Structure 1
Amino acid sequence: MTEIQLERLAWPQVKAALADGYTTVVFACGATEQHGPHLPLLVDAEIGTRTALETARRLGKALVAPTVRVGCSDHHMAFPGTLSFRQDTFDAVVTDYCTSLARHGFRKLCIFPSHGGNVMPLAQLEPRLRETLGDSVEVVVDTDLMGLMDVWKRGVPAAGGPEGRVGGHADIAEGSILMTITPELVQEEKAEEGYMGELSREDLDRVIREGLHTVTPNGILGDGRGMSSEIGEYLVARMAERLVEVFAA
């Protein structure tokens, strides 16, 4: 199939795809939240969709369901425009996604967070999803945030970018990936340095309790400068390769 995005297919095409063995679905759980002064709110959602597409193509016989475009982002609410689900709302949305897909005959659901705030909620939801869907549906959820960060930290210099600028939010990595998707929305001249240290356990607790703005007033973790589409393409490929290893295991 040339078109693998579920929402771009007519129902007879979906039916035919299922009959042809396209019984695996990949989808991301993203966010609509602040990404510094230089990137739009859609970063996590768009990166999720792009990564899901590249992953599904590598898996083969897989379709891509629409990205969940709002996530658990309460720690970003000090920044205007951010939208956030309560965790029980997030759980209900993801569960309803999965039960809908299972009802139509999809037998393997591959889910990953493209927003760090969704990692723990997905990890907690995974066993309940398996219980709800039963043995006829395989649920695979990637919740290895450190694995993703490692791809970015290794990938940026490997693609010719500067070292030491990956911090995990609105940084050189996310900006570079977005330049491969919606470059017209990247305000490169406004990219700047954010919080550059390692977040301690105390810092993380404060972020969850009081908000990200308490450690980074501009909303950036890492440094947004030096981004390029070349770095972005390299990172997307490495991210998809990592997810294929997770989902095909």
Structure 2
Amino acid sequence: MNLSEATWTEVRDADVDAALLPVGSTEQHGPHAPLGTDALTAAAVAEAAADEWTDADAGDSDDSDDSDDAGDRVAAGDLLVAPPVHVGVAEEHRAFDGTLWVSPDTFRAYVRETVESLAHHGIDRVVLVNGHGGNVEALAEVARRVSRDDATDAYAVSFTWFEAVGEHASRMGHGGPLETALLRHVAPDLVREDRIEEGRDGGSPRWGEWVRGVNLAHDSDEFTGNGVVGDPTGGTADLGETLLDRASEALCDVSRAIVERDR
């Protein structure tokens, strides 16, 4: 179920197991990929997971070695996909036009209060589906605070899609092969194909400026001329399909675990 497309009565009458809250950013992704890449990819993974979530599959927890300890909650309904959060913690990209950001405090408060709104309606299991590296620390803190707050009576975890794609995760970069691949699969019209090589040639092979394990660079323009890290030419649509399958499958597993878990 997509919350933005549903009516309030449909939400009231729905059997919702958990909510997926896509969280992204509006920031540069090189000359070839849109500013909204992080929110677009997070939402695509969330929608794919919701599509895969069936009553029969969700109710089958026999494959888990510790299923006997999962508590008395049993997944039997739908995953609700909430509207994406489009602006995140992205000041590191401030040198590039169009990038938007908020402070970590503002971001944490916004995400937390969104989760609390869902919990108010009885949707008390939430996965924060993240598509931006700069959000990781803040989202982990939000999930902890929500889950420890007895007044909220909710449980949340943070899930970053590009960390859940197996051996491909090491190729992440920024506007590089993974994001370009997923965009080519789910939103090909938004990829500027005539600027892919420009992205590769003006980018950096590595994120940051490292000395003895310390990153000396605070902003991305200190090490990449056009915002790209990695080689986007290797990001094929076929790879994007694989990434979506792996990330959505992992998201279903995480969702099932929090639904069946005691808080």
Bin for the TM-score computed over the shorter chain: 0.7 to 0.9
Quote the residue 1:63 is aligned against.
80
Quote the residue 1:47 is aligned against.
41
CA distance in 2, matches of 1:144, 1:176: 13
Secondary structure at 1:102 match in 2: helix
CA distance in 1, matches of 2:241, 2:181: 8
Q: Is the aligned partner of 1:6 residue 2:23?
A: no
Which deviates the most, 187-196 or 74-83? 187-196
Q: Is the aligned partner of 1:196 residue 2:205?
A: yes
Q: What per-residue deviation string (whole Å, max 9, x for no partner) do you get for residues 166-199 of structure 1?
A: 3421012111111223212211121132211465
Q: What per-residue deviation string (whole Å, max 9, x for no partner) do you get for residues 97-138 of structure 1?
A: 111101111021111211010001112222211233647322
TM-score where L is the length of structure 2: 0.79
CA distance in 2, matches of 1:42, 1:230: 21
Q: Is the aligned partner of 1:206 residue 2:216?
A: yes
CA distance in 2, matches of 1:88, 1:182: 32
CA distance in 2, matches of 1:80, 1:204: 28
Secondary structure at 1:180 match in 2: helix
Quote the residue 1:180 is aligned against.
185
Residues 133 and 84 of structure 1: CA distance in aligned 2, closer, same or farther (over 3 Å):
farther
Q: How many residues align?
A: 229
Alignment of 1:229-248 (within 5 A): 229-248=237-256
Secondary structure at 1:109 match in 2: strand
CA distance in 1, matches of 2:214, 2:120: 39
Query: For the Cα contact (< 8 Å) 2:205–2:231, is it kept in 1?
Result: yes
Secondary structure at 1:168 match in 2: coil
- Name the amino acid aligned to 2:181: S
Query: For the Cα contact (< 8 Å) 1:173–1:232, is it kept in 2?
Result: yes
CA distance in 1, matches of 2:99, 2:19: 28
Structure having the higher Rg: 2
Residues 232 and 56 of structure 1: CA distance in aligned 2, closer, same or farther (over 3 Å):
same
CA distance in 2, matches of 1:45, 1:198: 21
Residues 89 and 133 of structure 1: CA distance in aligned 2, closer, same or farther (over 3 Å):
farther
- Name the amino acid aligned to 1:152: H
CA distance in 2, matches of 1:72, 1:79: 15
Identity of aligned residues (%): 32
Residues 46 and 204 of structure 1: CA distance in aligned 2, closer, same or farther (over 3 Å):
farther
Query: For the Cα contact (< 8 Å) 1:151–1:239, is it kept in 2?
Result: no
CA distance in 1, matches of 2:221, 2:206: 15
Secondary structure at 1:221 match in 2: coil
Q: 1:96 aligns with which of 110, 113, 122?
A: 113
- Name the amino acid aligned to 1:241: E
CA distance in 2, matches of 1:236, 1:59: 14
CA distance in 1, matches of 2:207, 2:28: 20
CA-CA distance at 1:58 after TM superposition? 2.9
- Name the amino acid aligned to 1:239: A
Which deviates the most, 70-79 or 232-241? 232-241
CA RMSD of aligned residues (A): 2.3
CA distance in 2, matches of 1:204, 1:57: 42
CA-CA distance at 1:90 after TM superposition? 0.3
Gaps of 5+ in 2: 55-77, 258-263
CA distance in 1, matches of 2:167, 2:111: 26
TM-score where L is the length of structure 1: 0.83
